Amino acid sequence: MKGAWKVEWCRKVMMEIVRESLSMGFVCEKWRRSVGIIMRKPNKPDYGLPSSYRVINLLDVMGKLIERLVARRLERWGQEGMGDEKYGGRVGRSSLDGVGK
């Protein structure tokens, strides 16, 4: 996918597919599927416990791309609705920034 992203016409086609998908409000089923890989956590005394394992979900690359774009749009949308006096939970600001004001 990295190789295809470097080719300009491939990048344009992928972005057009993503744009159309978002405008229709539809993400094809293949992009929504993930594969869960169960891995042992290191140095656990008892591997008979579920807490001794972690699940890593592998999502299709196009699904990840759409997920990231939607997250950024929601983040931007949320930022626009907040006043300048809000600090916590915002990108580039922390609750501690508000203490100095």
Q: Mind listing the pLDDT tens digit for each residue in 51-73?
A: 999 999 888 888 888 888 888 88
Instruction: Using a cut of 0.85, tell me whether the model's pTM lies above it.
Output: no
Q: Report if residue 3 sits inside a domain.
A: yes
d(C-alpha 35, C-alpha 17), whole Å: 23
Among candidates 91, 87, 90, which has minimal Cα distance to 101?
87
**Residue 74 clears pLDDT 90, i.e. is over it:** no
Q: Report if residue 85 sits inside a domain.
A: no
What residue has token string 């890593």?
56
Q: Report if residue 31 sits inside a domain.
A: yes
Q: Report if residue 17 sits inside a domain.
A: yes
Q: Report if residue 94 sits inside a domain.
A: no
d(C-alpha 93, C-alpha 87), whole Å: 6
Domain containing 8 equals: 1-59
Total domains in the fold of the chain: 1
Q: Which residues contact residue 100 at a Cβ distance below 8 angstroms, ignoring those fewer than 6 apart? A: none
Among candidates 78, 75, 61, which has minimal Cα distance to 18?
61
Q: Report if residue 81 sits inside a domain.
A: no
